[in-house]
Chain A
Amino acid sequence: MNIMSYLIRGLATGGQFALVAIGYTMVYGILKLINFAHGELFMVSGILMIYIVADLPTLPIWLAIALMVVLTVFIGFLIEKFAYSPLRSAPRMSVMISAIGVSYLLQNLVSYVTGGLSKQFPDIPVIGESVRFLGVKDKLTVFLSPVIALVLMVILVLIINHTKFGMSMRAVSKDFETSQLMGIKINRVISITFAIGAFLAATGSILYFAKNTGINHLSGANPGLKAFIAAVVGGIGSVPGAVVGALIIGVVESLAKAFGLADFSDVISFALLIIILVVKPTGIFGEKTTEKV
């Protein structure tokens, strides 16, 4: 295999992680919460897809995907309503613990339903087909992932910067209380943020699991952690930052494999994380904040 194929696969994983990373970064931007359950939501959406296809074999695949996305968004919404919104006035630590609790619950729930076994992700037409591009032969999802990630990112940035809802999102992330006083319905903004995050995670999960087809209850942990690192490397709170960070992480890990350091790839991305944090604690695109006494 040549460098090109590693580069393309790296960009693909990067694109898939980017979609998850945007969810982390948006929630952090607004609630200052590291949403540990996001990786598990990613895994749950993959599992949902498997069960929808298995239980409703007559359903056209596109409808199945739509149903899965809707269910994932609904679960994301429920998590926010039940686990995070009651803790709105609690210290940030409590909310984070609640997020850990949710991720624990989702893992155990999926493990109970699947019996802890690995399940096979269904074949998705079109994106699951093999194609040859730039001399690399792989599933279409590999070539499509970074493109989809970039397109969704651009749409999201346009929404955030140019719509009224985007303006309220920016306001809430700047200052919770003041924006509430200005008449912004913060609960609605937060719910929609979670819904967008869940939608992107669901999209990411289709792209990711179409390539890596085995899913068990722990499948969300690694992509979740990587996407989270990506969000931090890019500057947590910034949407383009999350995408850039994810692409960097994806490519770096893939290149590490290309140079025969496959065992080392995790170590390299975590080392990158620590270096970025130490050199520029707020990440590549992060804004500098100063603490007031």
Chain B
Amino acid sequence: MWNKNKRLISNLIFVGALLLTLVCIELFAPPTSMWFSVLRKVCTFSLAAVSMNLLNGFTGLFSLGQAGFMLLGAYTYAILTIPVEMRSNVFRNYGDSVINFQMPLVPALILAGLIAAFFAFLIGLPVLRLKSDYLAIATLGFAEIVRGLVQLQNFGPVTNGPDPINMFTAPKNIMAYVAISGISILIIILIINSTYGRAFKAIRDDEIAAEAMGINLAHHKRLSFIISSFFCGVSGAMMAMCNTSVSSVSFTSAMTYQILLVVVIGGIGSVSGSIIAAFIFYASSEWWLKFLDLETFTASGSKVPLLGPGFRMVVFSVLIMIIVLFFRKGIMGTREISVYDGLMKIRSLFKGKQAVKEEK
């Protein structure tokens, strides 16, 4: 009991310290700093990755519909939070928007999640009966269908057709992103540690054995799919806030693959892994590797070979290939970050194994 509490407390202290660091960044970093755009993106995609992980890593349902659910969330959020006086301007190609009220941020976010969850329920009825790859293909197809439908002219008064939606409420403050993402991830962690979470893991490890133990497969699979899609919808809404503009062209299957890469790099079945991977992924692709895109000259005036626009992404994808090929389990495997265990390990390095054992 004491040991468990120690772990929990040390993790809480760690999260607190992390939050404090974020507040410091918010307050003291220069407004042009890359921290802001990167952190917003990291919050968004760590939620997307954790929700994908809930489905792929904890329930063993391989779905590639993330982009579709994110799109639903993003559109719902964006459409609902445009100020009333701006609406006729945004929807100028279609007369006016059919919705003529503006919702506050939090209810709109929840509604974004609910709409995604509702569609997950509908699409889940037929496709959740499919196995492994076929499920992945069907959900991928669903995402593409949603993307195609949203662009249709007929839906113009609701979705603005192929034109982007903008002018909606988008907080600049990174703490807002941290809060939304943090609360959502906390809920996911609580779900994972509940009886439902245990049932999900049982289904992942062996469907037939799980069924034999009395777990209702169809019910739990549907539940996991709906919960995951809810948070996907929320992360889609966050992505809308990040970009301050929503357009269906950004929600391609390539985005789903990107989230999948984040999940895999972090470790399939590790929440903290997904978050760390999201940070590394977006910080390095958008910030740390930026110098590779610039044509740099050495002191003697000769041009450094290879560097130039686009080189950053080449290096980045090579790094990803290296991780995929040589670190198959990702950063965390299926473990979670634990400050206490980490400290103990460090201590044992200094004291030698014997001393630590005696203390216990």
Q: Which residues of A contact B (CB under 8 A)?
A: 32, 34, 36, 82-83, 86-87, 90, 93-94, 97-98, 100-105, 108-109, 111-112, 115-116, 221, 225, 228-229, 232, 263-264, 266-267, 270-271, 273-274, 277-278, 281, 291, 293
Contacts and interface: CB of A to CB of B under 8 A. Distances in A.
A283 B311 CA distance: 41
Nearest to B137: A232
A225 B145 CA distance: 13
B314 interface: yes
A109 to B, nearest CB: 6
A132 B149 CA distance: 36
A266 B248 CA distance: 14
Contacts of B261: 97, 100-101, 104
A291 to B, nearest CB: 8
6 contacts: A94-B328, A98-B325, A264-B152, A267-B145, A270-B142, A274-B141
Contacts of B324: 94, 97-98, 101
Interface in B120-174: 126-127, 129-131, 133-134, 136-138, 141-142, 144-145, 148-149, 151-153
The 4 nearest A-B residue pairs measured at CB? A112-B310, A267-B148, A108-B313, A105-B317
Interface bin, chain B? 35 or more
B148 A270 contact: yes
A112 B321 contact: no
Given A277-B127, A278-B127, A101 B148 contact: no
Interface in B167-199: none
B141 A229 contact: yes
Contacts of B260: 97, 100
A100 B328 CA distance: 14
A92 to B, nearest CB: 8
Contact of A115 (B126, B127, B130, B309): B309
A277 B138 contact: yes
B142 A274 contact: yes
Given A93-B268, A274-B141, A277-B137, A221 B254 contact: yes
Nearest to A34: B133
Contacts of A264: 148, 152
Contacts of B133: 32, 34
A266 B148 contact: yes
B130 A277 contact: yes
Contact of A105 (B141, B142, B321): B321
A108 B314 contact: yes
Interface of B: 62, 126-127, 129-131, 133-134, 136-138, 141-142, 144-145, 148-149, 151-153, 208, 252-254, 257, 260-261, 264, 268, 308-311, 313-314, 316-318, 320-321, 324-325, 328
Chain A CB count within 10 A is highest, among B144, B149, B318, for B144
B62 A270 contact: no
A188 B292 CA distance: 39
B324 to A, nearest CB: 5
A36 B257 contact: yes
B318 A293 contact: no
A127 B134 CA distance: 37
B321 A273 contact: no
B138 A273 contact: yes
A79 to B, nearest CB: 11
A161 to B, nearest CB: 25
Chain A CB count within 10 A is highest, among B62, B145, B261, for B145
B317 A101 contact: yes
A274 B126 contact: yes
A104 B320 contact: yes
A25 to B, nearest CB: 13
A83 B144 contact: no
A220 to B, nearest CB: 11
Chain B CB count within 10 A is highest, among A32, A87, A97, A273, for A97
Chain B CB count within 10 A is highest, among A34, A86, A101, for A101
Contacts of B130: 277-278, 281
Contacts of A100: 257, 260-261
A96 to B, nearest CB: 8
A228 B260 CA distance: 19
A104 B257 contact: yes
B321 A101 contact: yes
A103 B127 CA distance: 27
Contact of B126 (A36, A104, A228, A278): A278
A44 to B, nearest CB: 14
A225 B253 contact: yes
A98 B149 contact: no
A100 B138 CA distance: 18
Contact of B314 (A109, A232, A271): A109
B318 A105 contact: yes
B138 A108 contact: no
Contacts of A281: 130-131, 134
Nearest to A289: B131
Contacts of A271: 141, 145
A78 B141 CA distance: 30
A214 to B, nearest CB: 18
A263 B208 CA distance: 43
Given A263-B153, A274-B126, A112 B314 contact: yes
Nearest to A108: B313
A155 B226 CA distance: 47
